[in-house]
Structure 1
């Protein structure tokens, strides 16, 4: 009976006073995830719309840098087995492999590993720091305490990084200086009885042609010509046709496949402004170009 009392008393008080001893005696193991030395599989993928630089991490997930046209770069560490709650993480750069005894370790930043496919997300500044450290031979480490209480380190090795990084930088130089939003819808306006494209119009059409060539998700380009009500119906239909076909012909000359073009004209139908003022009629003399995605 006395022994049971002592045991019960130890169980009650042990959590408060003895947990340090227990944790010392039965310390949870430190878990590390990294590619085997010499078997790093850094990979670059690129297009005029996006550049990516990734490294698979066996039994864990994947880390990747990426940058989209007109957007800042970022880094994502994705864990295949997603966490269920946010966990604090410390991102550090360890000394180059050829300086194993160098005491200098740099803190790149503090972050969280969060539920969802993005895991750890680093914005521009921290992503660029990480790229620079890796290019200089530093190992990038992500340290956190797992939901099960294990100390975890996920490592990105600089081995085989340099050649792929050079390709990534070249890809960045080829990103389009504009995005889908800049070409999704375009409206050209015309003077009275005018059907000619201006230099500014042609510049925008070149951007449209470039974007269509780069984005396989563009299903077709819709081109619709319009007129004001100043002429007869037949004349208005004809001039709206000339305007739409001038756009079509220039896009084809730029290399846009004819099959991707849907061209029509509506004359004075569907005005966007009243036709009883000069400003209203000028707004209605137009061609509207839309890029339609699949």
Structure 2
């Protein structure tokens, strides 16, 4: 619905056109409502991250600054009520409002109570009238239940969080510590859930303590130990490329204990698409 009066312009769905859409996977949960003539409001949560809200616009409609966020009783209810949820930042553009988890959860709670959620802000062109952009609770309950079901099935991590993983080791040893096996468990879980990941490169490294030949052998043992662990968790061995480099590629100086600890590592790289291995 696009309505205009002396007070300003309002964008929100009419009751008979209100839709809530859910897109669900183990990687991401998305709950959205199209807003006619404006864009859409989106509640989004990626695996391994907190939920947030995005207000998307087909064109710049709101002026940079702060918008008033309120929960209001729909006009068809007999008793009018309104709750102030606060002032929220607005940035002129196609995504004028981005809200973090706390406010996003408050908005969901108000919609679940049957309230409309409305943003009020001056228009981008500098007019005196305000612009209201609203989400309606019509048809919300069923979609919200599906969204909550999706949240329970999200993976604990997303691709960005595991695409480059470092596993660290004690000095001169190749044993995997519990903190590091937990990392590997998350990597293995993600790999098995995402068929788009087609190859995994495992690189073993050491610090500069000891002889180079010994360090090369130690880096091999570390890399192969990580590969065995992942294979034991169900990762396809045919997709694993294992390499070892000794002390050749430090990520930090070897001048002190903390720096050496950063170099005692195995790195795991996940690749989507064709894998090209650089020469060693």
TM category (shorter chain) comes to 0.7 to 0.9
The Cα offsets for residues 266-287 of structure 1, whole Å up to 9 and x where unpaired, read as 2453466669x99998876643
Q: Which of residues 48, 54, 67 is equivalent to 1:76?
A: 54
Q: Quote how far apart the aligned CAs of 1:113 are.
A: 3.7
The alignment status of 1:189 with 2:169, answered yes or no, reads yes
Scaled by the length of structure 2, the TM-score of the pair is 0.74
Q: Quote how far apart the aligned CAs of 1:56 are.
A: 1.0
The Cα offsets for residues 148-191 of structure 1, whole Å up to 9 and x where unpaired, read as 44443322111111111112222333344456457733133156
Aligned position for 1:136: 113
Aligned position for 1:255: 234
| Residues 141 and 212 of structure 1: CA distance in aligned 2, closer, same or farther (over 3 Å) | same
Q: Which of residues 118, 121, 124 is equivalent to 2:95?
A: 118
Q: Which of residues 236, 243, 248 is equivalent to 1:264?
A: 243
The alignment status of 1:55 with 2:20, answered yes or no, reads no
The Cα offsets for residues 19-44 of structure 1, whole Å up to 9 and x where unpaired, read as xxxxxxxx757433222323322112
Q: Quote how far apart the aligned CAs of 1:134 are.
A: 0.5
Structure 1: gaps spanning 5 or more residues: 1-26
Structure 2: gaps spanning 5 or more residues: 274-280
Greater alpha carbon shift after TM alignment, 236-245 vs 101-110? 236-245
Q: Give, in whole Å, the separation in 2 of the partners of 1:183 and 1:31.
A: 45
The Cα offsets for residues 40-93 of structure 1, whole Å up to 9 and x where unpaired, read as 221122444433211111111111112344544322222211147425532222
Aligned position for 2:73: 95
Q: Quote how far apart the aligned CAs of 1:95 are.
A: 1.9
Q: Which has the larger radius of gyration?
A: 1
Q: Give, in whole Å, the separation in 1 of the partners of 2:234 and 2:264.
A: 27
Q: Give, in whole Å, the separation in 2 of the partners of 1:144 and 1:281.
A: 54
Q: Give, in whole Å, the separation in 2 of the partners of 1:106 and 1:186.
A: 47
Q: Quote how far apart the aligned CAs of 1:222 are.
A: 2.8
Q: What's the secondary structure of 1:165's corresponding residue?
A: helix
Aligned position for 1:221: 200
